[in-house]
Each structure stands twice: as C-alpha cells, then as structure tokens.
Structure 1
Amino acid sequence: MEYTQLGNSGLTVSKVCLGTMTYGDQNTEAEAHAQLDYAMAQGINFIDTAEMYPVPPKAETYTRTETMVGTWLKKQPRDRVILGSKAAGPRRGMDWIRGGPPALDRANIRAAIEGSLKRLQTDYIDVYQLHWPERNVPMFGQYQFDPAQELDAGGRQVQWVSIRNQLETLAELIQEGKVRAIGLSNEQPWGLMEFLRIAGEYGLPRVASVQNCYNLINRGMEFGMSEVLYRENVGLLAYSPLAFGHLSGKYIDDPEAKGRVTMFLGYAQRYKKPGVVPASAAYTQLARAHGLTPVQLALSFVYHRWFVSSTIIGATTMAQLKQNIDAWQTRLTPELVQEIEHLHLTMMNPAP
C-alpha cells in the first residue's frame, strides 16, 4: 500500500480507502468487522462512513453503519485509523435524519457530529465532510444546473445557509478538537472555490478534500475540477470506482446478477442512463482482451490517476474486498491507457 498527505490537512492516508455504506443492510456487524480487520491488515488506514449510511437510505437502517464501525473502532488503537464521516444536508423524503434537516446551519451540523461521535465511540473525526451541498446544485445522477430550483413554490428566492456560516461552525468543531480536517462531497467547482475563497478571506479552515464520483464512465472530475484540485492542493476521494458494479462485468455476463442494481430497483439513477450498458460492455471486453479482469482495469485506472488522493472501495463479500485491494498492484500500460481514452472519446461520460 502507498500513502499520501490529504490536501493541506497533514493527515497521511492510504491510497485505498475502505467504504462502509453496505454495513447494516447488505452486511452484518460480524462481516463488517471482518472487512475492517482485513483492510487494516493490508495497510489501509483510511475508513469512510456517514451518518446516513447504509444506502439506499431508509428509516429502519439509518445510523446502523456508524454504530457497527463504532463497535469495531472502540477496540482499535485510535491513532492508527484515519476516520471520515459526513453530515447529511437537506433533502426531501429523509425526515428520519434529525427530523429532516432544513439546512446545514450551526444547530444541524452540531447535532450531526454529536450523533456521529456517539455512534462511532470516539472523541474526534479525522475528516468531517458535508455530504452534499445545501444550495441548489445537480448531484446523485443529475447533470444539469436548473436556475428554477432557486425559487420556492411561491416564486421567492430560496435562502441558503451561507458558506461562511457553514465554515464558522466547522471551525468551532476543529477548535474543540472534535474534527481534525474538513471536506466536501458531491460538490461542484464553483462551490469548492467559494469554500476556499471564503476560508482565505475570513481566516477559516480550508477544505482538505472533496469526495465525488469518479470512474471510467463518469469522468466529470476532469472537466474543471481537476485543475482546482491541483492548484489549490485539495485531495480527491473518488467514490463508486466500479460504478455500482457495472464496471465489474457481472451485469454484462448476467443482467440479473445479485447486487445493488438488481436488489434495489430504482436506486442510483446515475447508472440508469442509456449509454451505461454499452460502455460497460466495451470496457469489460477491453479488460479481457488484455488479460485483465474488468475489476482490475476499472480500479487501476482510478487508483493511479494523478489527481486522486484516495479511492473509496466497498464490498459485500470478503472475496470482492480481496479482489478490490489486490487490484492496487495492477498497472495499466501506456498503450492500454490510450485504448481507454479512445473508448472515452467514443462514448464519453454515459453516467454523469
């Protein structure tokens, strides 16, 4: 395993991060702990979770993931684990999350972290992230910005909690020792630049990382965001590197294969778009033509991109987890990367 400094945080994280969003739904506590133990044994020191997990989000499973991670974390030397978690923002239909938080205001951010700290059985979170922006922004499979969403039902301008106020609350948490570094998730270039600008203007904490979707069929991070990451020293935590299993090849071999796509119908609209299956099939064929598994191709591509600080992997079985971690050792040849680029230019970003 290799390690890197996460943005300007001073935190040294493994280049592979273990995601936990299946714990409490698809995985039992015993399975979750086995995965965490195995990942740590392979040199992974970075664990990512969220108050909302597991997903798909449901009232009956909300907070289970953090609780399971917490019972494991309690038995670990705390300084050996870099722990990331996330505060959910406003979103319709999620009234079970703190009563349906109307905003990322001081009260809600504080309520979120206090709940997470209790469930995780720790005094601090290393990387505390805002799970999605409060303001109107396309995310979770949406890809077009809609100014009409700036208005409420009465045609009045929607009022968002200012980025400055959000940063001021996060600054309090850092000063109190409850957070070591802050991050964003599902963010756009304008939002990241505003967080950085306002932090500099008012002496507030700088964002260390952005956790966004990035994979062979969703390379939107390369359009504008990668330059921001480079010039502002912000780390990318790439999630969904296998595109909900589409890039593993299993749904190409068997469209009814067991997985989130077939278990949770209607979930993950990002991967319901018409170009996803043809592109997934093309990358599956390319991998096998070069003697690689589709998993090796897809993960190695993300693992070793210059702007990716750490890649968040997830698995429901130990066999999957081992395969995903082992793929770190795979290096793509320049010739194979060129073939990937040809496919990318032919069928660009079918899952934005």
Structure 2
Amino acid sequence: MRRNPLGRTGIEVSELCLGTMTFGTQTPEAEAHAQMDRALEAGIDFLDTAEMYPVNPVRAETIGLSEEIVGNWFATRGRRDAWVVATKHSGEGMSHVRDGAPITSATIPGAIEDSLRRLKIDCIDLYQFHWPNRGSYHFRKNWRYDPSGQDRAATRAHMEDALDALQRQVDKGNIRAFGLSNESAWGTAEWLRLADAAGGPRVASIQNEYSLLCRMADTDLAELCVNEDVGLLPFSPLAAGLVTGKYQGGAVPEGSRRSHVDSLGGRITPRAFEAVAAYHALAGRFGLDPVHMALAWAARRPFVASAIFGATRLEQLEHALGAVEVVLSEELLEAIDAVHRDHPMPY
C-alpha cells in the first residue's frame, strides 16, 4: 500500500481511504467492523466519516450513527493508533444538525466534542468542514453556480473566526489537523492566506468529488494543491458506483445506492452511461478491471493524498483492494485522457 503525506502536518496516510457513509444504513455494524478489520489487514489506515453520516437517506434519527459504529470498533478492538481518523462538521442548511446553523466559532467546540464522544477517541486526526457557509458549486450545482451575491468581507471574517476556534481545539489536543470539503480554489487559497496572516491551523487537505467522470479538480485546484501542499482527498472515485457498470442500461440492483437515490444525486445521464462504456472498453484493452483502474488513477494523481471509497458489503471492499496492484503506464494514462476528451463532464 503506497503512502502519502497529508499536507504539511507530518501525518502520512494510505493511498486508499475507507469511507463510512453507509455505516448504519446499508452497512450494518458487524459488517462495518469486518470492513475496518480487513482494510487494516490490507494496509489501509485512513478512515473518513462525518457527524451527519450515514446517508442514503440522511435522517434525524441516524445522525452520528456512522461515528458511533466506528467508535464501537475502537471500544472493542482497542487499536486507536492503527487509524488516522477524519470526520466533518456539517455546514449551513443541514436541518438535522443544529437546526441548519452555519459553521461558526460557537458551533465548532460542541461539534468536535460530540464527534469525540461518538468516536470514543481523545483526538480527531483530521477535522474537516463539510461544505462552506457561502455555498458550493459541487453536487451538480456547477452548471448554474453564481458567486456574484457573495459577501467577501463576511466570508473572510467567518474564516478568521473559525480559524481562531480551531486553533483553540488544536491547543486543547482535540484535533491535529484541519481540512476542507466541497471547496473552491479561491476559498482554499483564502483559508491558507488567513491562517498565515492571522494564525490558526493551515489547511492540510480538501475533500472534493473527483473521478474519471468528474474532473473539475484538474486545473486551478490541482495547481493550488501542488504548490501549497494541500492534499486532495477524492470522494466518489467510482462516481457513486457508476464506474462499476452495475447501472448500465438503466439497471437498479437491489440494495444498491441507486435503489435509494434514483438519480445518484444527478449523476444518471445518457452521457454518463456512454462514458462508462468507453472506460470499460479501455480497461478491457489493457486487461484491467475498470474498478481497479478508476481507483488507482484517482489515488495516484500528483495532487492527491488519498482516494476515499466506500463499500456496502465486505466483498465489494475485497474487490476494490485489487487497485493497489495496478500499474498505470504512460500509454494507459494517455488513453484515459483521450476518453476524457471524448466524454468530458457527463453530469
């Protein structure tokens, strides 16, 4: 298992990260714990969760359940040092958490304490803001995204306020590092600039959607990540399961994510199916499993720290682990880019 630095924190993480957003809904606790055991055995020591998980769907009565399940693993296994643990503070509009309140210095301490309690640990290795207060162009909002109504002064004041609160949490030993999610290049640059100018933990990572089908991070954000040592943590590197091919032809396998969210959050389009078919044909040409090719590609981009993938069942995790052995030749990378040019941003 390859390992990469997490920004400038001194923390190293495995190139694959175990996502937990189905722990407690599609994935029952015993299955979740078996996944954590198997991931560690395979060399994965980075785990990502969030206070609002599980999803599909998000319900008030299950808020925090994924963290609780992870915490129960720690309580029964006693191997806290085996994992780098990342979790997230929900942003404005999540009605089931703090009645949808935005992220502020007032919400940060309580959110962290609640996550620590559920996780049954003393310190969170990477604490992330799930999405910015000002909104985001992610989750298919990029087609109509309009930042012209933003209040730059208010955004910067919020960042300074939050950084001060985060630094107090670092000083208390509650968190080690700070990361972003669903952020822009400008937003990340501002967090970095203000941390340098006013103090507070430096952004170590940014968790955005990134896959063969969603390559928005390839340009401005990639340049920022490389030059500022901010590791991209791609989520949905298999495009919410589209890349597996299981949804081709409009299929909706029983128990799959699409059986809970029919459009896969806006990812189901005719062009998406065409792109998946093209990548499957390419994988076949090179004698590769398309899942392995997609995961290895996302994990080994030069600006990526670790690719986050989730598995509903243990056998899916076992299958995904084959990505570790994939060799990405220059010929294959050029062929992937050629398919991307033919099928850019299909959703």
Alignment TM-score, normalising by the size of structure 1? 0.92
Partner of 1:329: 325
2:89 counterpart letter in structure 1: A
Deviates more, 1:112-121 or 1:76-85: 76-85
Contact 1:214 1:240 in 2 (8 A): yes
In the aligned structure 2, how far is the partner of 1:281 from the partner of 1:139?
24
**RMSD after superposition:** 1.8
Distance 1:323 1:254, change over 3 A: farther
Per-residue CA deviation, residues 209-236 of structure 1 (Å, 9 max, x unaligned), is: 1111110011111120011001101111
Shift of 1:243: 0.3
1:349 counterpart SS class: coil
Deviates more, 1:158-167 or 1:272-281: 158-167
Distance 1:303 1:150, change over 3 A: closer
In the aligned structure 2, how far is the partner of 1:273 from the partner of 1:159?
37
2:212 maps to 1:216: yes
Deviates more, 1:160-169 or 1:201-210: 160-169
Contact 2:163 2:195 in 1 (8 A): yes
In the aligned structure 2, how far is the partner of 1:273 from the partner of 1:191?
30
Alignment TM-score, normalising by the size of structure 2? 0.94
In the aligned structure 2, how far is the partner of 1:289 from the partner of 1:2?
26
Shift of 1:96: 1.8
In the aligned structure 2, how far is the partner of 1:63 from the partner of 1:267?
22
Contact 1:71 1:120 in 2 (8 A): yes
Contact 2:206 2:233 in 1 (8 A): yes
1:8 counterpart SS class: coil
Which of 82, 85, 88 is equivalent to 2:87?
85
Which of 259, 264, 273 is equivalent to 1:262?
259
In the aligned structure 1, how far is the partner of 2:88 from the partner of 2:50?
4
2:242 maps to 1:241: no
Partner of 1:49: 49
Partner of 1:64: 65
Contact 1:3 1:14 in 2 (8 A): yes
Per-residue CA deviation, residues 10-36 of structure 1 (Å, 9 max, x unaligned), is: 111111110000100001000000000
* 1:291-330 paired onto structure 2 within 5 Å: 291-330=287-326
In the aligned structure 2, how far is the partner of 1:148 from the partner of 1:333?
43
Partner of 2:137: 138
2:14 maps to 1:30: no
Distance 1:287 1:254, change over 3 A: farther
Partner of 2:335: 339
1:80 counterpart letter in structure 2: A
Per-residue CA deviation, residues 125-181 of structure 1 (Å, 9 max, x unaligned), is: 000000111113312221142146549xxxxx9955611111111111101100000
Which of 168, 172, 175 is equivalent to 2:171?
175
1:23 counterpart SS class: coil
Per-residue CA deviation, residues 105-137 of structure 1 (Å, 9 max, x unaligned), is: 112122211111110011110000001111133
Shift of 1:206: 0.5
Shift of 1:267: 4.6
2:278 counterpart SS class: helix
Shift of 1:273: 4.1
Unaligned runs of 5+ in 1: 152-156
In the aligned structure 2, how far is the partner of 1:108 from the partner of 1:310?
28
Distance 1:267 1:148, change over 3 A: farther
Contact 1:136 1:149 in 2 (8 A): no
Contact 2:292 2:326 in 1 (8 A): yes
Shift of 1:253: 6.2
2:115 maps to 1:116: yes
Unaligned runs of 5+ in 2: none
Q: Which structure carries more helix by proportion?
A: 2
Distance 1:199 1:148, change over 3 A: closer
Distance 1:148 1:303, change over 3 A: closer
Shift of 1:81: 1.3
In the aligned structure 1, how far is the partner of 2:150 from the partner of 2:231?
29
Distance 1:333 1:267, change over 3 A: closer
Shift of 1:76: 2.7
Distance 1:195 1:233, change over 3 A: same
Contact 1:303 1:328 in 2 (8 A): no
1:81 counterpart letter in structure 2: W
Shift of 1:343: 1.1
1:239 counterpart SS class: coil
Distance 1:282 1:60, change over 3 A: same
Per-residue CA deviation, residues 71-113 of structure 1 (Å, 9 max, x unaligned), is: 002233222211000000102xx32212222x11112122211
2:125 maps to 1:126: yes
Shift of 1:203: 2.4
